[in-house]
Structure 1
Amino acid sequence: MAVDAFRIFQLATQGFCCSQIMLILGLDEQGKENPDLIKAMHGMCGGIGRSGRTCGVLTGGVCLIGLTLGKGTPSEAGHLKIHLIVNDFLEWFENTYGSLDCDGILGHPLDVGNAYPVQCGKIITMAHGKVQEILAAYSEDPESDDEA
């Protein structure tokens, strides 16, 4: 499902950051809402606590993979390859953006305040699409012989 740029803009203008937007988009696709999860993602904003470190789009994408394929209850089993899946996304992200950190991707520190650069919306769009592509690829062959 393609991400609607207007939806990203709408969420950003409502004060949600990159990590939160990634999860909201994933929840939208699943027909769910989870305000507590979105609150938890607030700590990942701006590169974890707005430090400019690990990008919120990256952490949001990893959490979206976990939300979709992870273990959530004692009786539930997570996907056997969840670690490979996360690492596929991580590798793609670093190869695509040249860094895992906000400051490295943007080429400058985030400004003080809540505004996010337009560049982040494009990264969200690309990364969300990649998460969906990776999830689809692994759901097609969940029993292959690769190790988790």
Structure 2
Amino acid sequence: MLDDGGLRVLELAGKGYCCSQMMVIMALDEMDREDPDLVRAAGGLCDGLGDCSGPCGVLTGATLALGLYAGKGMDMEEPEDCLPVMIESLRDWFTERTLEYGGTSCGAILDGACGQPHPTRCGGLIGEANAKVREILVDNGLDPAEGRELP
């Protein structure tokens, strides 16, 4: 049986979003925001940077989500000091989590079947990564429901 996160992943996949976009959308959902431009930009990370040779969209999308909470977005802002540590924590977790697939690239996770997301592998990684992003944020004193203030 799927939880709410799993149902959301299925819904987004059915609407044609890729893994990196789903990670960003779920972070925006958490903040009760929409940002079509950001979701569109995350599309540039789909399919391991387009040919499955690059990093999995779950990892790049989750990294974008962390940046959404802690990165610099305006001239008068500074990134949160914890951002590099949060990204390192995410990367270390993802590297360990994907050892069974032979690497963090989209191609390794999909066994070379580029452009054909594996429902269990990709869907499971998205749900787990979304939970990990929340955990990392909380561990670093950031509220997943808050995000950065809008101008």
- Interval of TM-score (by shorter of Structure 1 and Structure 2): 0.7 to 0.9
1:101 equivalent to 2:105? Answer yes
> 1:1-148, aligned counterparts within 5 Å?
4-98=5-99, 99-106=103-110, 108-112=111-115, 115-118=116-119, 119-139=121-141
TM-score calculated relative to the size of structure 2: 0.84
Rounded to whole Å, the distance in 2 between the matches of 1:73 and 1:103 is 35
2:58 aligned counterpart, secondary structure:
helix
Residues 66-92 of structure 1: CA deviation (Å, up to 9, x unaligned): 001111111112111211110110011
Distance change >3 Å, CA 97–CA 58, structure 1 → 2:
same
In the TM superposition, residue 53 of structure 1 has moved relative to its aligned partner by 2.1
Q: How many residues get paired? A: 136
Give the superposition deviation at 1:49. Answer: 1.2
Residues 19 and 56 in structure 1, CA contact (< 8 A), matched pair in contact too: yes
For 2:107 and 2:10, the matched residues in 1 are separated by: 21
Query: Residue 46 of structure 1 contacts residue 110 of structure 1 at CA under 8 Å; is this kept in 2?
Result: no
In 2, are the aligned partners of 1:89 and 1:130 still within 8 Å (CA)? yes
Deviations, residues 15-37 of structure 1 (Å, cap 9, x unaligned): 00000000000000101100011
* Stretches of structure 1 lacking an aligned partner (at least 5 in a row): 141-148
Over aligned residues, Cα RMSD in angstroms? Answer: 1.5
Q: Percent of aligned pairs with the same residue?
A: 35
Amino acid at match of 1:22: M
- TM score, norm. by length of structure 1: 0.86
Say if 1:69 and 1:78, in contact at 8 Å, map to a contact too: yes
Contact 1:3 1:125 in 2 (8 A): no
Q: CA deviation at 1:52?
A: 3.7
1:3 Cα deviation after fit: 5.2
Contact (CA 8 Å) 1:52, 1:102: kept in 2 or not?
A: yes
Distance 2:89 2:75 in 1: 26
Q: Is the 8 A contact 2:23 2:130 kept in 1?
A: yes
**After alignment, is 46-55 or 123-132 more displaced?**
46-55
After superposition, give the CA deviation of every residue in 1:84-108 in whole Å (9 maximum; x if it has no partner).
Answer: 11011001100111222112223x1
SS at match of 1:4: helix
